[in-house]
A and B are shown apart, each in its own frame.
Chain A
Amino acid sequence: MKISAFHLMPHRELPADFERRHPSVWVTPPWWELADARRVGQYYNWTLDELLHAARAGFDGVCTNEHHQNAYGFMPSPNLMGSVLAKQTNGLDVAIVQMGMTLPTTSPPVRVAEEYGMIDCISGGRLVAGLPLGSPMDVNLAYGITPMEHRERYREAFELVLKAWQAKEIFAWNGKYFQLGTVNLWPRPVQEPHPPVWVPGSGSISTFDFATEHNVCYCFLSYAGARAASTMMDGYWDVVDKKGLDRNPYRAGFLQLVAVSETDAQAEADYARHVEYFYHKCLHVPAQWFAPPGNQDYRSLLAANRNPVRRAEDPKTLRYRDFVNKGYVIAGSPATVKERLIEEVVKRLNVGNLMVLVQIGSMPHELTIKNIDLFAREVLPGLREIWDDKGWENHWWPRSLRGSRQTAASAR
């Protein structure tokens, strides 16, 4: 197993009545009313400190991601954060997992190849290159990309980035969305032929096809937990089977919210309000913004309208115990968390690359450190060797880090 700490960099102090007073946490939340730049500077520094703490505590990787115009998670440039993390973790066997820089909104997309090249150089070949499609709120609403062109633009940018990393000769790119007369990337990444590629998705079939056709790691970023994700992930593995690929668990990544404390009861005392803050405020977005007209192709749209996925219940009606019982959040004592992660997530979904959301909603810095420490000390060692006896190779992890990690404790 490879286990990484994931951070959204949310606003941690939204007012109690936020979701009643404002229509959305994304795109339209008023900065001047809700935020303060000096305080936000503190959030960014906490975020970096927390991820660095996770790296030193024994996590295999640290994950950042890109979102725009929101209070849910506002790292508009994940590579600014990833660059700091790369520098500060030199000497540690930790992957810098950029989940990542959004392809359709980066123009020209060789910028992604360049910046990832820089991080791979700075880190000495420890980059995992997430190449996300981006959410409609980011790409269509905040960054103005036409919904009907979103996926096609992504596919063109993806091909361009992969070619820019690997081409031995200077080439011209005459695409539909991007035209470049002279592509000659400086710098090239350390990892050859290119850094491992992860493609995050939210369960759409076209992304399963894309991930398997390109032999990348498909990452399901879900906030509804493993039980809700099982149908989706089964669908992914079906596609893997149909394409004649192996069921290597490292083909799959999964994001899980985790909150660890001394006991199950203490976990509720520590984390309940932060978990509720996350689901009630940080996910407060008008439903139709997730699928503006044209964003889904006609067949997917018709399929969705014929079989409305049993609509995920409105999280605003749920409370901490519901989130825990339903597996949205895996919370409790180290023993509880370990058992549920192994059974519900790792084994049930066949996942080799686990991402753990260690800072949830309003969770303050000290409590986040506690969560990271308890997880790294009491939970992580019991997960690390799960797939080792099966002989799978994690082709989607930096080659130099594929062995079992020397933790700070064991190195001492």
Chain B
Amino acid sequence: MPTATQTVTVWQQRVPIRVHVKGSGPAVVFFHGPWGLTWGPFLDALAQGFTVYAPEHPGTSPDEPDAIQSVDNLWDLVLCYDELLDGLKLREVMAVGHSFGAMVACELAALQPARVTKLALIDPIGLWRDDAPVINWMLLSPQEMPGHVFHEPDGAASKALFGLPEDPEAAALARTRLTWAMGATGKFIWPIPDKGLKKRIHRISAPALLVWGEADRLVPRAYAKEFAGRLARTRLEVVADAGHAPHLEQPEATTRLVLAFLKG
């Protein structure tokens, strides 16, 4: 079943944000990670019990690469998303985020604690430890990347995200969009993904679920403790046979955990 899309233009009509929408029930907003939005079995499963809204990070929508040029910094970005929820007429939402998107979800929940009622964070970034640095994936070669993002670099989930189509024009476009998605998200975390969340995270009031891929080779598990120690109500779940993207690599296991949390 395909998703519907709608575009809400925020930030003085300068930033169009395209949103994929599917399902019915309470609103769940999904914030994607550094490689762009992948709509797959995980989001389909969430849409069984909820209305899933999956915005595309500014600049990552087809034909709107320059939208990112109007979002100067993280403060701008978080306010853009706050305006997006206004535009979607969503007073309260549950937020699910992956990686960079989980950091954005935390920032939104810190800005508007009453607006975010539950927070599911899948391998989030946003904090920093000198003894366990987050790998800067933007400096990895295309050959190195899959091994850092996935437990099985040659598995189907990895191929779906990083594999290129046969057709040269389609391949050029796919490669460009993947790189641009990393650039447009990386703009808010370069060169170290600690942009002050540690000072704001105490404002979050929603109960939180932390989901970590057992073999995350970008963001060490040490960060689960960092998030858990700073969030008021939280629980950690580890997904076996998954790397930095358990919702793509082990969608069934991840879906079970996230659905139980959102419904609980």
Chains A and B form a bound pair: yes
Whether A295 contacts B141 in the complex (CB less than 8 A), given A176-B72, A302-B173, A306-B172, comes out as no
A325 contacts the other chain (Cβ, under 8 Å)? no
Q: Are A146 and B190 in contact (CB-based, < 8 A)?
A: yes
A175 to chain B, nearest CB (A): 12
Q: Which chain A residues border B186 with CB–CB below 8 Å?
A: 146-148, 292-294
Q: Are A140 and B175 in contact (CB-based, < 8 A)?
A: no
Q: Are A288 and B180 in contact (CB-based, < 8 A)?
A: no
B41 contacts the other chain (Cβ, under 8 Å)? no
Q: Are B180 and A301 in contact (CB-based, < 8 A)?
A: yes
Interface flags for B113-142 (1: CB within 8 Å of A; 0: not) read: 000000000000000000000000011111
Whether A295 contacts B183 in the complex (CB less than 8 A), given A302-B172, A302-B173, A305-B175, comes out as yes
Whether A294 contacts B141 in the complex (CB less than 8 A), given A302-B173, A302-B176, A305-B175, comes out as no
Q: Which chain A residues have a beta carbon within 8 Å of chain B's beta carbons?
A: 140-141, 144-149, 176, 286-289, 292-295, 298-299, 301-302, 305-306
Q: Which chain A residues border B187 with CB–CB below 8 Å?
A: 146-149, 294
Q: Are B173 and A294 in contact (CB-based, < 8 A)?
A: no
19 A/B residue pairs, CB under 8 Å, sorted by A? A140-B191, A147-B183, A147-B190, A148-B187, A176-B72, A286-B141, A287-B141, A288-B139, A288-B142, A293-B179, A293-B186, A294-B183, A294-B184, A295-B183, A298-B176, A299-B65, A301-B176, A301-B179, A305-B173
Q: Which chain A residues border B182 with CB–CB below 8 Å?
A: 293-294
Q: Are B169 and A293 in contact (CB-based, < 8 A)?
A: no
Q: Which chain B residues border A292 with CB–CB below 8 Å?
A: 138-139, 183, 186
Whether A298 contacts B138 in the complex (CB less than 8 A), given A148-B183, A149-B187, comes out as no
The 9 A-B residue pairs with the shortest CB-CB distance, nearest first, are A294-B183, A293-B183, A298-B65, A293-B182, A305-B172, A146-B190, A148-B187, A302-B176, A306-B172
B80 contacts the other chain (Cβ, under 8 Å)? no
B66 contacts the other chain (Cβ, under 8 Å)? yes
Q: Are B139 and A141 in contact (CB-based, < 8 A)?
A: yes
Assembled-state Cα–Cα distance A294/B181 (Å) = 9
B68 contacts the other chain (Cβ, under 8 Å)? yes
A29 to chain B, nearest CB (A): 15
Residue of A nearest to B178 (CB): A293
Assembled-state Cα–Cα distance A298/B59 (Å) = 9
Assembled-state Cα–Cα distance A272/B203 (Å) = 65
Interface residues of B in 177-231 (CB under 8 A from A): 179-184, 186-187, 190-191
Q: Which chain A residues border B183 with CB–CB below 8 Å?
A: 147-148, 292-295
Assembled-state Cα–Cα distance A145/B187 (Å) = 10
B73 to chain A, nearest CB (A): 10
Q: Are A288 and B141 in contact (CB-based, < 8 A)?
A: yes
Interface residues of B in 28-66 (CB under 8 A from A): 59, 65-66
**A288 CB contact (under 8 Å) in B65, B68, B140:** B140
Q: Which chain A residues border B180 with CB–CB below 8 Å?
A: 293-294, 298, 301
